[in-house]
Structure 1
């Protein structure tokens, strides 16, 4: 399987590392506009350096990871699709709904697989919690809440906390419910960043199912947790520790979760989808919905009102 990586920043380097460790992968090349960085990564992983993504795409790739700033997703994704290359685009799929539609429609027309890197769907704890919810073990889920807080990362300059971090839990909550979100209300503010750096996001799904997300770049310690409340019990998930703890009226017990790097799961899933034609759970349509909710959440705090999502 011949693959390439476009974008050699912090996340792109993780894609390179994992592809390099996968036995069935021929890592054809890495592309970055920072030529020194591209050369350094190519040397580290014994591959070729490219400084223009179109040159890498000429190498008859089976798949490519696109790990560039969100505003560049559309241009690079369309070039990849035009080259007939299956693509994994880091979340969110695009910077606007219109650009998301452009990518999704182009991939569909070209019969090219489009996967979006909503990495928490591939977290072993989330996989286990989804199994538990779908089995009915804790009954009908009526409320899901999450905390995704921690210190500010100075490399994030082009988006706010909702687009950068809130999108993870927006997507996970929709995924766990198995439903789309149809209304959002957000309280947010900007104190240390040019975009919003703290937000509380309230979500409504069909039949009055609720979601709540607390996220910020102001908390000294990093916390990544989620609570799912069902009619028969409650599940407490820790994204970082990769644990799921179940509470009901009789027991407190730990679900069996095999810890594993979520990105490794994600990239292996991508390769299997290309090889076997299997369905992609974080596809263009699910990512478009997450982007739609993010956009509405930002509009909500700017206008000070709830926004309906159609």
Structure 2
């Protein structure tokens, strides 16, 4: 079978990694790169940098990756759908729910694979976490809490931290728990003088009763990417920046310390860090997209999945707006 001819729109900070993986991926041939801003990271190689999506389509492509700023996702995706090109769009799916819905409908109407780059689903720590939670290793799950914080990336200008980073946590939480959200509320902070929020705390409940909490910001000098799942038998901690998964078991020894022994909770037990095969999440994501296009079994994140996540994030932002936000001086 001939390799799928791939086009890449956008070769910025994320696009350069897509270019590398597309070149390495079996069954795929990168044949076109387009970016109106040129090639700042020098990834084009022997390929000409094309000016826009139209020029990329004209080369003749089967699949495309859209890695331009969120505000341009809809325009590019609709044109690719019209041209019959299966497309993977970076997260979030679009700048608004309305735009995202138009994208979902366009790909569905033409029977095309439309996917969204929620890359955390392909992180080895989270994949192993999901498997262990599903097999009952925590017993009943009580809570899922995430922390995703670090310095502000100056390249992000068209959305706030909720859509750029928070969408990761909303998506991965529902996926790990295998349950959709029942409700979500939030509070936001604006401290950097930008139009959009740079800190958000989201709280919600999943349909299976698990309570969730997401702390997301661009205001911390400390970079953190943690997912903590707590249940009746202990807690899992997944560090997606390193791909590590650690289990903190509830203790089995009785304590003789009188002031603590009256507390009817849990005690510290054994700590286990699992040895995992750590494949690059972006490569695994591309494999899933390729397989979906080929009609094979795949864990690709669909545009419908991306839409549900965007709807929840927008609901959280609306919740914060109606409650009032904290503004910088």
Q: Are 2:144 and 1:125 equivalent residues in the alignment?
A: no
CA, structure 1 residues 21+187, in 2 after alignment: closer, same or farther (shift >3 Å)? same
**Larger mean Cα displacement after TM superposition, 180-189 or 289-298:** 180-189
Q: Deviations over 1:274-305 (max 9, x none)?
A: 22433444111111111001101111111118
Per-residue CA deviations over 1:144-167 (Å, capped at 9, x if unaligned) read: 001101111111111111111111
Q: How does 1:80-95 map to 2 (within 5 A)?
A: 80-95=80-95
Instruction: Find the residue that maps to 2:84 and give its secondary structure.
Output: coil
For 1:14, which of 7, 17, 29 is the aligned residue?
17
1:9 deviation in Å? 1.0
2:206 paired residue number? 205
Describe the superposition over 1:124-180 as per-residue Cα deviations: whole angstroms up to 9, x where unpaired: 111111111111111121200011011111111111111111111011111111111
After TM superposition, the structure 1 = structure 2 runs for residues 87-126 of structure 1, keeping only pairs within 5 Å, are 87-126=87-126
User: Gaps spanning 5+ residues in structure 1: where?
Assistant: 306-310
2-side partners of 1:13 and 1:155: how far apart? 14
Specify the alignment match of 1:141 in structure 2.
141
Task: Note the C-alpha offset of 1:60.
Answer: 2.5
Whether the 8 Å CA contact 2:95–2:159 is kept in 1: the answer is no
Residues in 2 aligned to 1:191 and 1:36: alpha-carbon distance in whole angstroms: 32
- Corresponding pairs, count: 302
Relative to the length of structure 2, the TM-score reads: 0.88
How big is each residue's C-alpha offset from its partner over 1:24-63, in whole Å with a ceiling of 9 and x where there is no partner?
321111000124549x432x2x223210211211222121
- For 2:228, the equivalent position in structure 1 comes to 227
**Worse-superposed segment, 190-199 or 164-173:** 190-199
Alignment map for 1:214-293 (pairs within 5 Å): 214-249=215-250, 251-293=270-312
Query: Secondary structure at 1:16's aligned position in 2?
Result: helix
The Cα of 1:233 is off from its aligned counterpart by 2.1
Shift of 1:248: 1.9
- Aligned to 1:27, the other structure's residue is in SS state strand
- Structural mapping, 1:60-75, within 5 Å: 60-75=60-75
Instruction: Check if 1:27 corresponds to 2:46.
Output: no
Which runs of at least 4 in structure 1 moved beyond 3 Å after TM superposition?
35-38
Give how far 1:252 is off.
2.0
Pairing of 1:137-216 with structure 2 (within 5 A)? 137-194=137-194, 195-216=196-217
Secondary structure of residue in 2 paired with 1:92: coil
The whole-number CA distance in structure 2 between the counterparts of 1:193 and 1:279 is: 42
User: Aligned ranges for residues 290-309 of structure 1 at < 5 Å?
Assistant: 290-304=309-323
Q: Which runs of 5+ in 2 are unaligned?
A: 252-269, 325-329
CA radius of gyration, larger in? 2
**Given the two structures, how large is their TM-score scaled by the length of structure 1?**
0.93
Distance across 2 between alignment mates of 1:147 and 1:256: 23
* 2:261 corresponds to: none
CA drift of 1:222 comes to 0.6
Cα contact 1:28–1:48 (8 A) shared by 2: no
Match of 1:48 in 2: 48
- Is the helix fraction higher in 1 or 2? 1
Instruction: Quote the offset at 1:14 in angstroms.
Output: 0.8
Conserved 8 A contact 2:288-2:300: no
Distance 2:162 2:113 in 1: 27
Q: For the Cα contact (< 8 Å) 1:30–1:41, is it kept in 2?
A: no
